[in-house]
Structures are given as structure tokens and as C-alpha cells.
Amino acid sequence: MTGSAVPPAFTIAGLFAGIGGLELGLHAAGGETKLLCEVWGPAKAVLKDKFPDVPLHEDIQTLDKLPKTDVVTAGFPCTDLSQAGRTAGIHGEASGLIKHLFELLRDASPRWVVIENVRNMLVLGKGHAMSYLVEQLEGLGYRWAYRLVDSRFTGVPQRRQRVIMVASKEDDPTNVLFSDDAGEPGDDRFKDDAYGFYWTEGNTGLGWAKDAIPTLKGGSGLGIPSSPAIWIPDAPRGQAIVTPSIEDAEQLQGFPRGWTEAALEVGKPGPRWKLVGNAVTVGVAEWLGRRLTSPGDFDHDYGVPLSPIDKWPKAAWGSSGKRWAVPVSLWPEQHQYTHLLDLVNQEELTPLSFKATAGFHSRLERSSLRTQEAFKIALKEHVEAMRPQTS
């Protein structure tokens, strides 16, 4: 089924809205938001600041019905699904709130439903979360498709992999999600002058990324929302291991710098990292919005049948109990890439503290992780450069 699936100017109801990443991207593609729903105080402060004319409902558990809109979005909490979270699963206290979406859809008829969450839900509990979403959507009469995408395809230097799921009763979501495939670029697309990693990790992983930062996230291995770190090999001693600013993080997610400043009205600066880490990359939502208004024409012969016991692949579609995998890349498009050191404000990069560097280096040394020898040397030098001086 091809053709225009939603009008060029379409309406949106944004559930679990966070700081409005999905909505901001969809607006760039012609969308207009009619309702936002968000419970967390700092996030509500941002939404009120950036979407002042949009009604804001405070809790999906008390939302009685959805307004008539073309698109309903639900970037529901990843707390119980992500590797940095509790991994309690789709029925955990936070992630389990997605059940309210399906309750609301029983009495609503949007043209499209858009769901977003972390890659880990494809494998956590043998894919139980994905099975639950599919069962609920099919029970309501929807056909569905999902695709794992990497935010770097939009041009931002953040290696962020997220599942985008689209469902409709009237149209074919495969024409939205699978009509574009630019393929993953070669390594020569990325410079070797900066590497991102997570200083809060070091036991089982680093989140290592060349010419990019690893996934911005709301939590960490130390249980705190925090910035990643950047190793700049050619920087002077004491300036080679640094952290970006929150404004850098906002831009790494496709937001204008300063987007979350309003959160300071209701709390300390720390929550801004969680707000940005939990958001949807704006460029991903803009690509999606363009395809919602102008779907392509996906060849269904490209699909590979899946059995109910198969693992969830990186992309698939289905309806009425049948499933097909799609061998597409995580890069629907390849926008002009902004190199990491060209995006961050280098004058505002902060050297990672002695305590943070020493703790990370110690964890790394005790682990079995393999890293570049030059990186280990840089860490040792930074520890010495940042060591408090004693009289």
C-alpha cells in the first residue's frame, strides 16, 4: 500500500513525552502537537517552556482518552529494559506503564502509532518485551513494523541505537520504515582525533566510540546520570581526558543548545543529563515524520519469514500472528556528518577529575577489557596531571 499516509500537516498526541524529541522532529516534518503527557517535574518544566500552547497532562495513569490525532507517540520509560537500568522487563514498575497506551488505543483511532525504546528490549528476557508489544498491537487490529536505527545516520556524532516501532490499522508501516537504506558507512567516514567512552563504566564495557560519544543515557554503571568522556589523543597533558557540557549533549541529540534550561527552575543541574539521555534524537523523528507524510514502496519479497521461537532481528514486520525479518542496515539515510570535535565547544570541555579518572582506570585495570595501549597511557598521565598537590 503506497501513497500519502498522513496529510502534509498532521496532528500528534505525545505520551511519555520527556523533553519533546519525537514531537520536535515531527514538527519539522509538518506535525502539530495537540496533547503532551509527562509525569516528571523537570521534563514538564521543559515542555511548558518549549511547547507553551500545548495542553500538558501530568500522568498517563489518569489520562481518560486521547484527542483525535493522526499520530500517537510513546517513547515509554526504558528504566526496566536498558542495560543501565534495572532490567526488570516490560512489566516493571516504570516500563510497565506502556500498558496504558494500549488501554487508550481501545477507544482511539489514530492513523499511526509510534513507539520508541532501547535496543536491549529485543533480547531482554528472550525478547519478551517485543512479544508483548506485538501481541497488544495485533490484539487491537494493528499491523506493525520496527527497525533498529543508529542516530549517527542523522549526522550527529552519537552512536545511539534505538528501536523505532510503527503501527497502523489502515496503512502499511513497512513503507515508512524500510523504504530507505543507505547502508552503514565505512570507517573512513570517521576521524581518529577523538574517542568517546563512559568513565562511569570500566568493569564490563566502555561504550567506546570513534569520532562520536557512546549513547547518552539517563543512568550509568555507578547509578548516576552523568556525561560521557572524550579522549583527545593530541591534546596537552591534563586536557586529553575531558567531558562535554550539557549544552553539547543537547546538540548531540539534535536539540538547540540550552533546550533543557527550564529544568533548572525545579531542581539541580544533574537531572538535565537524565532528560537528555532519555530523549529521542530529533533527527530520527524528523526522518520518520517525512516518511509518515510520504511513504515509499517497500518490496515485501525482501522479507524472511520468522517463526514464533526465532530471536527478534534488527528489523521486522508482521500482522495477525505472522512475522518477517528484513535485512536492512541501521542507517536509513546518510546525512552530512558532524565530527565530534567540530560539534563540542572545545573551550568549555572540562578535564575529568582525578577521582573519576583514577576510579575508572582502576576498574579498567581489574577487568578483562582490551583497549588501545595509547589510551591506557593517556589515562595514567591524566591521573598524574589531576592528582591533588600536597604541600
pLDDT one-digit tens code per residue, 175-218: 999 999 999 999 999 999 999 999 999 898 889 999 999 999 87
139 lies in the same domain as 17: yes
The Cα–Cα gap between 202 and 243 comes to: 16
194 lies in the same domain as 169: no
DSSP characters over 119-172: GGGGTGGGGHHHHHHHHHHHHTT-EEEEEEEEGGGGT-SEE-EEEEEEEESSS-
Residue 160 lies in a domain: yes
What is the value of pTM for the model shown?
0.94
200 lies in the same domain as 285: no
Residue 271 lies in a domain: no
CATH code for position 149? 3.40.50.150
Q: Say how many domains are in the chain.
A: 2
Please, what sign has the CA dihedral across residues 19, 20, 25, 30? Answer: negative
44 lies in the same domain as 140: yes
314 contacts 148 by C-beta, under 8 angstroms = yes
Would you say residue 4 has pLDDT above 60?
A: no
76 lies in the same domain as 136: yes
- Nearest in space to 196 (alpha carbons), one of 187, 185, 207, 186: 207
pLDDT at 270: 76
Cell 525504546, located at residue: 117
Residue 131 lies in a domain: yes
Catalytic residue of the set 78, 104, 292, 325: 78
198 lies in the same domain as 153: no
24 lies in the same domain as 109: yes
Residue type, 170: E
pLDDT at 124: 84
pLDDT in tens, 294-348: 999 999 999 999 998 899 999 999 999 999 999 999 999 999 999 999 999 999 9
The Cα–Cα gap between 234 and 240 comes to: 7
Residues 6+ apart with CB under 8 A from 388: 354
Residue 378 lies in a domain: yes
pLDDT in tens, 81-133: 555 555 556 556 666 788 999 999 999 999 999 999 999 899 988 889 999 99
115 lies in the same domain as 170: yes
The Cα–Cα gap between 25 and 11 comes to: 13
The phi and psi torsions of 172 (rounded to 5 degrees) equal -100, 110
User: What are the distances in angstroms from CA 234 to CA 195, 238, 256, 263, 375?
Assistant: 12, 11, 29, 36, 11
The Cα–Cα gap between 83 and 96 comes to: 16
The Cα–Cα gap between 112 and 4 comes to: 12
The Cα–Cα gap between 221 and 234 comes to: 28
Mark whether 37 is an active-site residue: no
Please, what sign has the CA dihedral across residues 271, 273, 278, 283? Answer: positive
- Cell digits for 368? 578483562
Domain of 321 in residue numbering reads as: 10-185+279-325
The Cα–Cα gap between 323 and 264 comes to: 46
CA R_g for the chain:
21
Q: Please list the residues that pair with 83 across neighbouring strands.
A: none
pLDDT band, very low/low/confident/very high, at 3 (cuts 50, 70, 90) = very low
